[in-house]
Structure 1
Amino acid sequence: MHNNNKELTLSAPLSGPVLTLARVPDAVFAGGAMGDGIAIDPLNDTLHSPCAGVVIHVARTGHALTVRADNGAELLLHLGLDTVELQGDGFSVLVKEGARVSNGQPLLRYDVDKVGRRCKSLVSLLILTNGEDFQARPITLKNVKVGEPLLHIIARTPQAANTEERAGPEVRAQVRVAHRGGLHARPAALVRQTAQGFQSRSQLHFAGKSAPCNSLIGLMGLAVGEQDDVQVSCQGPDADAALQALIAALATALPQDRHAAVAPASHPVPKRPAEAGVLQGVCAAPGLVDGPLFKLNAISLPPDAGGHDPAGQRQAFDAALNEVRREIDGTLAQAKRLGNTDEEAIFAAHLALLEDPALLDAAAQAIDGGNAATHAWSQSIDAQCQVLQQTGSALLAERANDLRDLRQRVLRALLGETWHYDVPAGAIVAAHELTPSDLLQLSGQGVAGLCMAEGGATSHVAILARGKGLPCLVALGAALLDQEQGQAVVLDADGGRLELMPGAERLAQVGQIRQERQERRAAQQLRAHQPAATLDGVSIDVAANVASSAEAADALANGADGVGLLRTEFLFVDRHTAPTEEEQRAACQAVLDAMGDKPVIIRTIDVGGDKQLDYLPLPPEANPVLGLRGIRLSQARPEILDQQLRALLQTRPLERCRILLPMVTEVDELLHIRRRVDALCGELGIERRPEIGVMIEVPAAALQAEQLAEHADFLSIGTNDLSQYTLAMDRDHAGLAARVDALHPALLRLIAMTCAGAAVHERWVGVCGALASDPLATPVLVGLGVRELSVSPVQIGEIKDRVRQVHETECRRLAHGLLKLSSAAAVRHACHQHWPLR
């Protein structure tokens, strides 16, 4: 019943004893992650509506639903614990989404015996999911019968509770989550950032639970997995725009997630039988090092007697938060300056966590209760870590490490400890679990390697360790922390081993292997700036794939013969408006300037389909990689390509700028763009247009290579997309990624066909996909006719060295023989036989 349009008394939806949430045997509900509310241990078989309102969500499995009361309060009714696993068996939903219901109306029935025997507990929840607008106050904690007063709902502000003052109706949509591993920290941060760009209030609904889109922890606590279907609801003056932006944020996998999914280091090393003196773990970053073991310990707090002055503790807490925000802002700025996109994404997520209402409100409430700020913050973090670990998702459990990182940083600020580990250079650091902040500091102190008792190969620390080239082992077990400080160990991350008692002979062997590797890398680097040619004199350009002027400068320093692929998407993503023509020109000019006198191949914008832009809303597609993307988007929105072409044509010197067109499937597409470039050259008074190339990334382009080469100045093979389109395997699919191997004989046939078609018109062919960076594939590509390899900047010296080891004539003979083999595995085996890696 209503007291007025702002306050509401909820009646009991079930009969039975009433429990506080703290007594619910489920960490997610007991910890308040889903919101405030009450629980009932039911004695009847029918769930009734606690008020008049509208059913806004019904769980697919029929165990839960959400009702929006007329005053705007949203109430999740969840029957039993872990009942989602019953997949609807034993439940009968009596209402549909969108239905108007009255107070006391039956909503769902359930088979008490069937459900009670198979679920964790019949304890059922009534949760207020929009607690940012309302608060719940229990009326009774005794036994209740259906319809008796149970909770009092009060609006926090008049504006929040008055639905008449909400501008515009609510809009909803369903979307499938594309992010690798679901909504862990970085994708959740993207969703949060997107929601904050609009005035409307947005919520995410999944499996009978809801979370505000502005709460990173709330979003992660939903435990949304990859390819799960979720609902998004938005209400406010810009609800439609917010809904479209959130759909795009959820349906578009992050580039770094795609990259991490195929990183070799992310595959666990199989556990082998126990070996004396050896701890076995999982490789998070490869390498082989030896050194003294140095153990790090987390900050521990003494017991807190309470009774602190809330005002003083709040002031100290706010000051500590501001100090940590400044530290993270500095880390972010440096990561952006250096083009470290993984590092930037990780610490942007940390900054979002530091502003999360679920964390801050819990800490503030504890401080108001007289707790010390240190203990209030620590308890808030611990509660949310438990929520993530109770989701059952290994990936989300790993993300709890990011929360522990913030726990340490804020505690250091509160305690006044200087954040510095006194670790000797060359040490192998051991810890229960390192945090991203720890890793950044330790890498700057020259440590040799890292090992952890816990942690995972897909954690943020693992990503950063791979980027820093620091060998890293995780999941070594508690025995790691029992080892003596300073003892000599060998960290063999490639083999998943920490050797605790290496003898003098083993240490000498490790030293020799490391020295040989270092000498080889040094020799490769010494010659990295020299041209690469085979033993029989065939020149091969080794260029770099880059996404910024900083990466271009790094490529030049590493000996690149040019830029083989500049991805211009970096200019268009992570913003709410399109870049101007001048912004694009300046960014591309900066890359040209950074490369000295070397050529730069600039790919026109390749978004659409699976790569959405906030300011370019496109309809969701069932098969986005087969949809409106690359050059197809440019045809649909010609003004975007025209603006980019104008920007490119105004770079200087223009002869060093080469334009590359993505996702071309037929000659007419190339001719259309060529005519447009010629027209723009006329308008700008340019007498000679720059070279125009075509990306060969779909089988149709490879099959028409000869016809395309007649009108293109060069061809560049994108083996990543060509692999998935040829093999009909999504390279982002967790179960198939390892099988999407560009050394498959079918791929090699398409590469051979491309090179043969280009040779008819004396055009050169490059490879800018991941296969170019694989030294095992270098002789194969040279033998098939590829004359430019575009690789990651750090691999330039290695690939040039590989080119110099082979004869082109022998490569040609052997490579064409590989086309007859039966599988990628057979090709790789033959490559190891013909051209063994040193």
Structure 2
Amino acid sequence: MTATVTLRAPLSGVVLPLSQVPDPVFAGGMMGQGLAIEPLSSTLLAPCDGEISQLSSTGHAVALRAANGAEVLLHIGIDTVKLGGQGFAPRVRLGDRVRCGQPLVDIDIDSVAQRALSLITVVVVTNSDDMQLSSLASGAAGEMVQAGSSTLLDIRASGAQAGNSVAASGNSLGGQAVVAHESGLHARPAALLQHTARRFASHIDIGFGGKLASARSMVAIMGLGVGEGDTVSVHASGADAEAALAAMLAAVETRSEAGHAAAPLPASTLAARSDGKLGGVCAAPGLAVGTLVLLAEQDRTVPEHGTGVATELTALHGALAQVRGDIEADIALAGQRGARAESEIFGAHLALLDDPELSLAAERLIVDGSSAAHGYRSAIRAQSDVLLGLGNALLAERVGDLKDLERRVLDVLLGSAQGAPQLPAQAMVVADDLTPSQLTRLPRAQVAGLVLARGGASNHVAILARALGIPALVACGPAALQLPAGAEAVLDAGEGWLDAQPDAASLALARQQIAAHEARRLALREQSAGRALTRDGVHIEVAANVVNAAESRDAVLNGADGVGLLRTEFLFTERTDAPSSEEQRAACQAVLDALEGRPAIIRTLDAGGDKDVPYLPLPAEDNPALGLRGIRTSLAMPQVLDAQLSALLQLKPLSQLRILLPMVTDVADLLQVRQRIDELAAQLGLAERPQLGVMIEVPSAALLAAQLAEHADFLSIGTNDLTQYTLAMDRCHPALAARQDALHPAVLRLIALTVHGARQHGRWVGVCGALASDPLATPALVGLGVTELSVSPALVPEIKHRVRQLDAAACQELALTLQQQRSAAEVRAMLAAAANVVAQ
């Protein structure tokens, strides 16, 4: 079978380049390479032999798969999906085999012309990355072609695609799925589908509304404008097409939440206010008083024309690589601080940066003579126009993420990146809009509040503002930019307003309310230094999860009883080689010194899975979460483990140290490490040994808790991983985030088993996972018999206060009932209802 297919004109008319199509998706080449025709005939013909792989329900678009695997999309008119099928009469069905010149769709030219934006019909090869397209064989842009006879393009499958065309055609599968993702295929679900597609060798497309998008392109997926409940088609071609199709259909049908969105204010609140205050949408609640500071956004001047294709392409690729490194560094730093929301947002930026559609669109513009800066900005803005034009508020809010990438890349290409602005103390920052990286670079200690003319309650800046605890008001309109700089203002983001001209009484009241909130926080902090005893005298140790000495000092200030988890991964990331034993010793000693005699649980390296340490020779794995992780990695690399254990054994005093082993599955792991500790201690001439504990993160460890407790000094439950492995849900899977709830009754039962097994040998059990930081869960954990909770430093006062309100006996009765519930939702509802009972 030949690898070359020739396309003939599907309509009579004038040939146009894609750049003249009045639609940025097609004009920017984001749907693939091809051309357009200004039609004069009224029947769309098949441009080649093939199989109908996509037929829109409205009849305005049809796609066929050629013998060499080329996916040819024929889109009649612009925005014709809005016609609801009027003016189009399809003459084929999905799956039909057609011959070149066969009628596909009859078009009522007059009717469509009167109601559509344009009649221009697009002919694109949506998988043109895998193909080589010739120039016009007969006729050029601006010339006439005759339907069924004039030759348009030669399409040749390149490389492996050509060699495998028969196999790919023989393994071409399709199916349909209803989109379950909340608010449709916006940024996070699109990134999820992209991530899924990249696991397979097959070519995968998603079809909707007459358009096809490569599943490997997050941008193209978002550009489809798919909403929740819409039905999409999925097509997979290749050796692993069956597995790819099944995975993609499951990814489409698995619900993920839009996530982190604050509820918008009623429309009446956003209307012009009669009290003179500026109204907006609450992005992050809170009350603040501060000085108005306006940040002006300047559109940078970029050279339109390049200095040579090779030079500009090299510049673009170098800038993308540098920005990729910068974003990866931001992700790593956010991870070290435990800033999960920030890490996830920059992870989505990384997926956008690596999106082939954006880079290809920029490259095509460079080939046409643009500079790298102009090409990349044009590609970004064309996609932004697409998202803004889809009529989907959530997708429109993703424009801020594209804008952030544009700013980062242009800073590298043009130099002279803008530094962080100088702010006064208690600055009320006002801007047209901010990107996530701009927000994270503001000096947090000086930002009292945030007021944006644009933005939305569910965009990434809003999510970050909530995570950072900055009161934020968005979508305030152009009036925000007219606020008097330097004036003192009151922001009540929760109520949706900013008062730029508060009188003395309003200022005094706001400051009084802020002071009362701060007083409560300080009162809890002052009380947190003492022991946390329940009302009936049960002592619960409240420790802190930290990553360095600075956080340890913060933990002490907040009244922590010690460090319940020091993650040593921070010593291994963001470098090209492993830290020496002495480097590790010095860093861990600093943590112990900061605790002023309090105990510290230091976990050995937990590498593997979603915790990547680039320079460690870890193999590529199909299921990283089930492969080399935690103690398995350390045992597989004894030199790494020995260096870390030697460093820990040299800490002083050893009585202050507790070593914790991650991802233990049975007693053999524990005994092997204990034996190595004894050998290293003997070499160092040490008679004393630190306490040694194991993390309960997998069901096997919980089930064997009694055996582990016989040889361990304590057990510490990592609820994040325990939930992942108990529910068989990848904790990094965005579509499953809403169902990853550690209060699932199955997880509670495993915690109960762990405590029961530990008590048989007089061992204590702690929880260092995220569940310990949830005040709603505190009665459940106390009732299950957990006696140590390790939380973020700032939450120590709140959790201690919560413990002191509880009656342990009542909590025990409640815990028995919680384990009998059917879901995490039922458990949470019962905990909320029982709040007063367990506190009496």
The TM-score with structure 2 as length reference comes to 0.70
Do the aligned residues in 1 keep the contact of 2:764 with 2:786 (CA within 8 Å)? Answer: yes
Give the equivalent residue in structure 2 for 1:625. Answer: none
In 2 relative to 1, CA 272–369 (structure 1 residues): closer, same or farther, beyond 3 Å? closer
Give the equivalent residue in structure 2 for 1:288. Answer: 287
Give the equivalent residue in structure 2 for 1:13. Answer: 10
In 2 relative to 1, CA 426–816 (structure 1 residues): closer, same or farther, beyond 3 Å? same
In 2 relative to 1, CA 502–355 (structure 1 residues): closer, same or farther, beyond 3 Å? same
The amino acid that maps onto 1:28 is V
Shift in Å, 1:400:
1.2
In 2 relative to 1, CA 243–588 (structure 1 residues): closer, same or farther, beyond 3 Å? farther
Shift in Å, 1:468:
3.2
Distance in 2 between residues matched to 1:485 and 1:126, nearest whole Å: 53
- Of 667, 680, 700, which aligns to 1:674? 667
Do the aligned residues in 1 keep the contact of 2:6 with 2:153 (CA within 8 Å)? Answer: yes
Give the equivalent residue in structure 2 for 1:33. Answer: 30
Give the equivalent residue in structure 1 for 2:484. Answer: 484
Superposed, 1:435-834 pairs within 5 Å as: 435-443=435-443, 446-522=446-522, 532-534=532-534, 538-545=538-545, 560-561=560-561, 564=564, 595-596=591-592, 597-600=599-602, 615-617=620-622, 643=636, 651=645, 653=648, 656-659=658-661, 673-675=666-668, 677-678=670-671, 695=696, 762-778=762-778, 781-782=781-782, 785-803=785-803, 805-806=804-805, 808=807, 812=811, 824-825=828-829, 827-828=831-832, 830-831=834-835
Distance in 1 between residues matched to 2:568 and 2:770, nearest whole Å: 18
The amino acid that maps onto 2:384 is C
- Of 267, 271, 275, which aligns to 2:266? 271
Distance in 2 between residues matched to 1:516 and 1:559, nearest whole Å: 21
Superposed, 1:187-198 pairs within 5 Å as: none
The amino acid that maps onto 2:307 is A
Shift in Å, 1:452:
1.6
Secondary structure of the 1:405 match is: helix
Secondary structure of the 1:290 match is: strand
The worse-fitting range, judged by mean Cα deviation, of 286-295 and 827-836 is 827-836
Q: Residues 21-58 of structure 1, C-alpha deviation per residue, up to 9 Å, x if partnerless?
A: 56656543344321343445778886543134x54944
Q: CA RMSD in A?
A: 6.3
In 2 relative to 1, CA 26–386 (structure 1 residues): closer, same or farther, beyond 3 Å? same
Shift in Å, 1:336:
2.4
In 2 relative to 1, CA 797–496 (structure 1 residues): closer, same or farther, beyond 3 Å? same
Distance in 2 between residues matched to 1:834 and 1:712, nearest whole Å: 32
The amino acid that maps onto 1:831 is A
Distance in 1 between residues matched to 2:784 and 2:160, nearest whole Å: 69
In 2 relative to 1, CA 548–291 (structure 1 residues): closer, same or farther, beyond 3 Å? closer
Q: Residues 657-691 of structure 1, C-alpha deviation per residue, up to 9 Å, x if partnerless?
A: 234658xxxxxxx7xx2245446766887699975
Distance in 2 between residues matched to 1:344 and 1:739, nearest whole Å: 20
Q: Residues 218-254 of structure 1, C-alpha deviation per residue, up to 9 Å, x if partnerless?
A: 454345678987758688xxx87x999999899889x
1:77 aligns with 2:74: yes
Do the aligned residues in 1 keep the contact of 2:565 with 2:601 (CA within 8 Å)? Answer: no
Superposed, 1:402-421 pairs within 5 Å as: 402-408=401-407, 414=414, 418-419=418-419, 421=421
Superposed, 1:171-250 pairs within 5 Å as: 204-207=205-208, 209-211=211-213, 217-223=219-225
In 2 relative to 1, CA 520–86 (structure 1 residues): closer, same or farther, beyond 3 Å? same
Distance in 1 between residues matched to 2:552 and 2:205, nearest whole Å: 40
In 2 relative to 1, CA 661–345 (structure 1 residues): closer, same or farther, beyond 3 Å? closer
Do the aligned residues in 1 keep the contact of 2:234 with 2:245 (CA within 8 Å)? Answer: no
The amino acid that maps onto 1:296 is L
Distance in 2 between residues matched to 1:678 and 1:12, nearest whole Å: 74
Give the equivalent residue in structure 2 for 1:667. Answer: none
Secondary structure of the 2:600 match is: coil
Secondary structure of the 1:651 match is: helix
Shift in Å, 1:449:
1.4
Shift in Å, 1:76:
2.0
The amino acid that maps onto 2:432 is H
Q: Residues 755-791 of structure 1, C-alpha deviation per residue, up to 9 Å, x if partnerless?
A: 6776566443434454421335435643553311132
The amino acid that maps onto 2:399 is A
Do the aligned residues in 1 keep the contact of 2:202 with 2:244 (CA within 8 Å)? Answer: no
Give the equivalent residue in structure 1 for 2:149. Answer: 148
Q: Residues 76-104 of structure 1, C-alpha deviation per residue, up to 9 Å, x if partnerless?
A: 2345656599799975645638x6x6433
Distance in 1 between residues matched to 2:415 and 2:714, nearest whole Å: 61
Do the aligned residues in 2 keep the contact of 1:694 with 1:712 (CA within 8 Å)? Answer: no
Distance in 1 between residues matched to 2:72 and 2:216, nearest whole Å: 19
Do the aligned residues in 1 keep the contact of 2:784 with 2:812 (CA within 8 Å)? Answer: no
In 2 relative to 1, CA 234–515 (structure 1 residues): closer, same or farther, beyond 3 Å? farther
Unaligned 5+ segments in structure 2 are 593-598, 611-617, 650-656, 682-688
In 2 relative to 1, CA 420–584 (structure 1 residues): closer, same or farther, beyond 3 Å? closer
Superposed, 1:356-435 pairs within 5 Å as: 358-359=357-358, 378-408=377-407, 414=414, 418-419=418-419, 421-435=421-435
Secondary structure of the 1:37 match is: strand
Superposed, 1:50-199 pairs within 5 Å as: 50-52=47-49, 54-55=50-51, 57-58=53-54, 66-67=63-64, 74-78=71-75, 81=79, 83=81, 93-94=92-93, 96=95, 102-105=99-102, 108=104, 124-132=121-129, 133-134=132-133, 137=136, 139=140, 145-149=146-150, 151-153=152-154, 163=162
Distance in 2 between residues matched to 1:18 and 1:379, nearest whole Å: 24
Shift in Å, 1:188:
6.2
Do the aligned residues in 1 keep the contact of 2:330 with 2:346 (CA within 8 Å)? Answer: no
Q: Residues 452-503 of structure 1, C-alpha deviation per residue, up to 9 Å, x if partnerless?
A: 2222333232233334332222233344334333343222233443344433
The amino acid that maps onto 2:389 is Q
1:311 aligns with 2:307: yes
Q: Residues 640-665 of structure 1, C-alpha deviation per residue, up to 9 Å, x if partnerless?
A: 79638997687355882234658xxx
Shift in Å, 1:127:
1.0
Distance in 2 between residues matched to 1:84 and 1:93, nearest whole Å: 21
The worse-fitting range, judged by mean Cα deviation, of 331-340 and 720-729 is 720-729
In 2 relative to 1, CA 717–639 (structure 1 residues): closer, same or farther, beyond 3 Å? closer
Aligned length: 781
Q: Residues 705-739 of structure 1, C-alpha deviation per residue, up to 9 Å, x if partnerless?
A: 99998898766566678899999999999999889
Q: Residues 267-290 of structure 1, C-alpha deviation per residue, up to 9 Å, x if partnerless?
A: 324427435334444433343211
Secondary structure of the 1:437 match is: helix
Do the aligned residues in 2 keep the contact of 1:139 with 1:152 (CA within 8 Å)? Answer: no
Give the equivalent residue in structure 1 for 2:596. Answer: none
Do the aligned residues in 2 keep the contact of 1:288 with 1:492 (CA within 8 Å)? Answer: yes
In 2 relative to 1, CA 74–336 (structure 1 residues): closer, same or farther, beyond 3 Å? same
Unaligned 5+ segments in structure 1 are 619-627, 663-669
Distance in 2 between residues matched to 1:243 and 1:551, nearest whole Å: 49
Distance in 2 between residues matched to 1:230 and 1:648, nearest whole Å: 49
Secondary structure of the 1:448 match is: strand
Do the aligned residues in 2 keep the contact of 1:588 with 1:651 (CA within 8 Å)? Answer: no
Shift in Å, 1:291:
1.4
State the percentage of identical aligned residues: 41
The amino acid that maps onto 2:448 is A
Give the equivalent residue in structure 2 for 1:621. Answer: none
Distance in 2 between residues matched to 1:281 and 1:489, nearest whole Å: 15
Q: Residues 276-307 of structure 1, C-alpha deviation per residue, up to 9 Å, x if partnerless?
A: 334444433343211132333322479x9x9x
In 2 relative to 1, CA 535–512 (structure 1 residues): closer, same or farther, beyond 3 Å? farther
Do the aligned residues in 1 keep the contact of 2:425 with 2:446 (CA within 8 Å)? Answer: yes
In 2 relative to 1, CA 638–727 (structure 1 residues): closer, same or farther, beyond 3 Å? closer
The amino acid that maps onto 2:774 is D
Distance in 2 between residues matched to 1:772 and 1:466, nearest whole Å: 20
Shift in Å, 1:560:
4.9
In 2 relative to 1, CA 681–380 (structure 1 residues): closer, same or farther, beyond 3 Å? closer
Shift in Å, 1:544:
4.0
Secondary structure of the 2:100 match is: coil
Q: Residues 319-369 of structure 1, C-alpha deviation per residue, up to 9 Å, x if partnerless?
A: 799679757745643652562565455456556756766556656766787
